[in-house]
Amino acid sequence: MKNFFIRYNSVADEAMVKRLIKIYIIESNREGVNYEIAFCQMCLETGFLKFEGSVSKNQHNYCGLGCIDMFSGGDWFASMEEGVRAHIQHLKAYASFEPVKSPMVDPRFNNVKRGTVNIVTELTGKWASDPEYGQKISSLINRMYGL
């Protein structure tokens, strides 16, 4: 995962990327969410942590929560851990009816129609309006594994 990430952002701090990957794995495993999907979604949403859209790196918002257009900055989280946890909780809301296991930090969890996403391409039109959104995440997963 680190090598894949660095291929698209060679100036990223490798220690920070390793830490972020570890947090994604821990939070995803805790909630029963696929960490590869979450990680690749983060890569898509942040431009591999380049944050060239309306969300800044200081927001610790790795998935565009609350960012509805190029002019809204989206939600803010206190730390990397909290931002990743919110991302994972939001994915879990779409994919499952199970309650979260960690303290709730996703401010939009209750806005989601629970259990409506079974495969990553079904995030299209739910998470983002981009008609290729889910396919873009799938493509990143394939590239990460050299497929």
Interval 9-60: pLDDT, tens: 999 999 999 999 999 999 999 999 999 999 999 999 999 999 988 888 999 9
pLDDT at position 68, please? 76
**Which residue has better confidence, 70 or 15?**
15
Contact 106, 65 (CB under 8 A): yes
pLDDT band of 114, cuts 50, 70, 90: very high
**Which residue has better confidence, 4 or 72?**
4
- Give the Cα separation of 115 and 119 in Å (integer): 11
Question: Given the structure tokens 């830490």, which residue do they identify?
Answer: 19
CATH topology of domain 2-144: Lysozyme (1.10.530)
Query: What's the count of helices (H) and strands (E) in the chain, helices before strands?
Result: 5, 0
pLDDT at position 67, please? 85
How would you label 17-30 residue by residue, b for 16+ Cβ within 10 Å and e otherwise?
beebbebbbbbbee
- Give the Cα separation of 24 and 38 in Å (integer): 7
Across the range 116-120, mean pLDDT stands at: 96
pTM above 0.75, yes or no: yes
Contact 42, 60 (CB under 8 A): no
